Chain A
Amino acid sequence: MSSPTSSSQSEPGGGALLLEGALFSYEKDGGHPALNGLSLAPGPGKITVLTGPSGCGKSTLLYLLAGLYPKYAGTLLSGSARLGGEDTAGIPPERRALLVGMMFQNPDLQFCMDTVENELIFCLENTAAAPGAMDGKVAAALDFCGITNLRHRKLQTLSGGEKQKAMLACIVCTDPAWLLLDEPFANIDRGSAGEIARKLRQLVDERGKSVVAVDHKLDVWGAVCDEVKVLGAGAGMPLLEGVCPRGAGGGAALSPLPGLGVDIPSRPYRAGGALPPAKPAPDADAAVLLTLEDVSVSAGDAPVISGLSASFEKARIHAILGASGAGKSTLLEAVCGFRKYTGSIRVGGREVSKIPARQIGGNVGFVFQNPQDQFVAPTVLDEVMTGLRFGAQGGQLSKEEKDAEAERVLRAAGLWRYRALSPYMLSQGEQRRLALTALLAYRCRLLVCDEPTYAQDLSSLTGLMDLLLERVRGEGMTLLLSTHDRKLARDYADRAYVLEGGALHAVDRPDL
């Protein structure tokens, strides 16, 4: 660990990191470029946040800056990514890691070793650090990140937030001048995200590091970043550079951004404000769709939920908030019959565990947190057709009607042109839209969504939620969702709850 004084404040180390006229495509023939002649020079000694709609090429540009592309994907047709005058990809990894460090979106897929300590040692060995100095560097990096207590823990037992802190510690111990972050907070709770953001600020202020982060959520960054750059869809051109003064004035400086499809933390998702009114239920008995009575669920040996009772009204949006690890996913999975539970979970009066597999689709649908967990068909079109075939109206539609319906919903989701592709070939945001579209095709009575809007940009978030709202208001579908996004619960849910200590507590939405 270099001491704070070793890096000069006026001239941050490592040389300038630049992207010059990058024309980059993932396709062999160079078609559909992801970056179309993009140039970018993030400020040294600053925290720069790059944002923009899904698919605008912001992650691509980060991987180019890190020297990982085009080695791992795509072709750089013209232009270059340069670090201190050198071609970034041409710098050998052991030397590059001393100049550029990277934190990734998925906390699970960035470690090679078994324990936190071994992972840090792995980084130091890679970069040929002196063995005698390693213990000290590891201790200092863990101390800086506030995770000294995790030193000997197995990486797979850490929570998402802890994993991201461990990843930050890896970067801190190799001590590069540039830190590149690819949606580092997408999978972790807000508390951990805030802590990491403050550590990044400290690295910039005290050690002269430079940070470039890609994110479409600006809420965590508002208080710490120096600069926001917005990339336009398709063309991959920066449209606006909004300087974001830290602290109180942050919101005002971001005010030109909404027109560019960027979510401003202080603005509601729904322009109209209040939700359209829900139809009152004809009588109290018919009003409830889902009832939980004394439900207990365990994960492995540990009880996650014990003795939970609740009822959920029909044709409403119910949002469940709660810290990471509170058991939100576990509860939702139990409601869909994926997990063994004790007690009773009834949907429309039927015990979930007793609904035959063939009828599940028409009754309860589940949208996984990770859309890749739920694809069952070889193509995008088949994925939706499966829903039409096994859904509530499966027997009633003719082949032609099914084809027409599949085309209609895929066009509405903007996925029709990908119909012959494998679902796995779509981008993250597109996969999420497909997952939801396929599930909606079942026309199930209860749709359960585990964090449906995570890693979505503003327009896909509102598009997706408006679609769900339409189903709920128009067709009486009941939606039960979990989220970390309090604003989402405030603006879209009829009822909001916090899951804490294994129990559900109703909360007033305006307080969120």
Chain B
Amino acid sequence: MRSIDPTCKFFGVLVSAVVLAIFYVPELNFYVLAACALATALSRVPAKHMLLFLLPAGLLAAGLYFSAYHFSSDTVVGAHRQMFTDARVLNGLLLSGRLLAFAGLGMLFSLTTNKVDFIRSLNQQLRVPSKFAYGIIAAWGMFPKMAGEYAKTRAAFRARGLSAGFVSPALLVPLLVKSVRWSEAIAIAMESKGFGEAEARTHYRVYRSGARDILFLSLPPVAVLAAGLMLG
């Protein structure tokens, strides 16, 4: 999975998710999840990372299952299936299963893709402007810093005798000021490193879509479609 061109992988996963969304087949969701988990595991992603990725989705899915179970009428959404006698169970499984399937697709993409590779590939293959593409990479680097800064600002307020709740507008002001300053400093540094408007840049690694990449782009959506039609 790691060697597939990130752009093709992205659209393969995205189109699969859209195709999945048109079917109301509970089993299909779980098949997709299983296929994603298998493909991710085969790409030598440690099981721990996969579990950590799926854990929040799992909790949400459980919540969704029970709310769908309790709050839906006995009318089944979409196609009727004989194997589920209780419509409430079916509704619960549909919603939670779909969430898990989407999480599985997301996991397959994000745990097997280097984000810098993805952005470079978008930049080269889809002609996403460099300014935008590299801006995103630079902003990515700022996010971990921001959480730490927020905690620091809270401590500063407390130390000065001011009480500030967990989410307080007063705390956002320093953060906002800082992020504007940071982005300006980074923009200046990028320009000093030769990053400009001109698209004359060369590419260390050239991203092109080969037969395998095209296959990944087209096969999963078709497979989901076929499975959906067969089971539906």
Contact = CB atoms under 8 A, between A and B. Distances in A.
A374 B156 contact: yes
Interface stretch (B34-42, B65-73, B88-96, B200-208): B200-208
A93 B191 CA distance: 6
Contact of B170 (A125, A126, A376): A376
B193 A123 contact: yes
B158 interface: yes
Contact of B140 (A114, A174, A424): A114
Contacts of B206: 131
A97 interface: yes
B192 A68 contact: yes
B195 interface: yes
A361 B163 CA distance: 12
A109 B182 contact: yes
A307 B153 CA distance: 28
B193 A156 contact: no
B145 A108 contact: yes
Interface string B178-214: 1001101111111111111110111111100000000
Contact of A96 (B159, B190, B194): B194
A128 B200 contact: yes
A455 to B, nearest CB: 15
Contacts of B158: 357, 360
B230 interface: no
Contacts of A134: 204
Contacts of B163: 357
Contacts of B222: none
B84 interface: no
A134 B163 CA distance: 53
A326 to B, nearest CB: 19
User: For B156, B182, B206, which residue has the most chain A Cβ atoms within 10 angstroms?
Assistant: B156
B137 interface: yes
B157 interface: yes
A155 B193 CA distance: 16
B198 A122 contact: no
B177 A112 contact: no
A129 B202 contact: yes
Given A109-B182, A109-B186, A128-B200, A122 B156 contact: no
B177 A372 contact: yes
Contacts of B51: none
Given A106-B185, A112-B134, A128 B202 contact: yes
B165 interface: no
Contacts of A111: 138, 141, 186, 189
Given A94-B201, A106-B185, A113 B137 contact: yes
B89 to A, nearest CB: 43
A100 B193 CA distance: 9
A78 B206 CA distance: 45
A98 interface: yes
B155 interface: yes
B194 A94 contact: yes
Interface in A307-322: none
Contacts of B144: 156
Interface SS of chain B: helix
A159 interface: no
B174 interface: yes
B188 A112 contact: no
A376 B160 contact: yes
B55 interface: no
B162 interface: yes
Contacts of A66: 192
A125 B201 contact: yes
B116 interface: yes
B152 interface: yes
Interface in A45-76: 63, 66, 68, 71-72
A114 B141 contact: yes
A450 to B, nearest CB: 12
Nearest to A338: B155
A128 B116 CA distance: 19
Interface in A81-138: 92-98, 100-102, 104, 106, 108-114, 118, 121-131, 134
A365 interface: yes
B186 A112 contact: yes
A373 B152 contact: yes
A113 to B, nearest CB: 6
Given A112-B134, A131-B202, A361-B160, A156 B191 contact: no
A174 B141 contact: no
Given A104-B185, A122-B134, A134-B204, A170 B193 contact: yes
Nearest to A180: B192
B141 A373 contact: no
A100 B156 CA distance: 39
A492 interface: no
Contacts of B157: 376
A71 B191 CA distance: 11
B185 A124 contact: no
A390 interface: yes
Interface in A342-374: 357-358, 360-361, 364-366, 368, 372-374
B159 A365 contact: yes
Nearest to B157: A376
A25 to B, nearest CB: 18
Contact of A68 (B178, B181, B188): B188
A131 B203 contact: yes
Contacts of A98: 194
A336 interface: yes
Contacts of A113: 116, 137-138, 141
Contacts of A333: 155
A96 B194 CA distance: 7
30 contacts: A93-B194, A93-B198, A94-B198, A97-B192, A98-B194, A101-B192, A101-B193, A104-B188, A108-B145, A110-B186, A110-B189, A112-B134, A113-B138, A114-B137, A123-B194, A128-B201, A128-B202, A131-B204, A170-B193, A357-B158, A360-B158, A368-B152, A372-B174, A372-B177, A376-B156, A378-B173, A386-B161, A386-B162, A390-B160, A424-B181
3 shortest interchain CB distances as A-B pairs? A97-B194, A390-B161, A93-B196
Given A102-B192, A376-B170, 17 more contacts: A93-B196, A93-B198, A96-B194, A97-B193, A108-B145, A111-B141, A112-B134, A114-B116, A125-B204, A156-B141, A338-B155, A364-B159, A373-B152, A373-B174, A375-B156, A376-B156, A424-B181
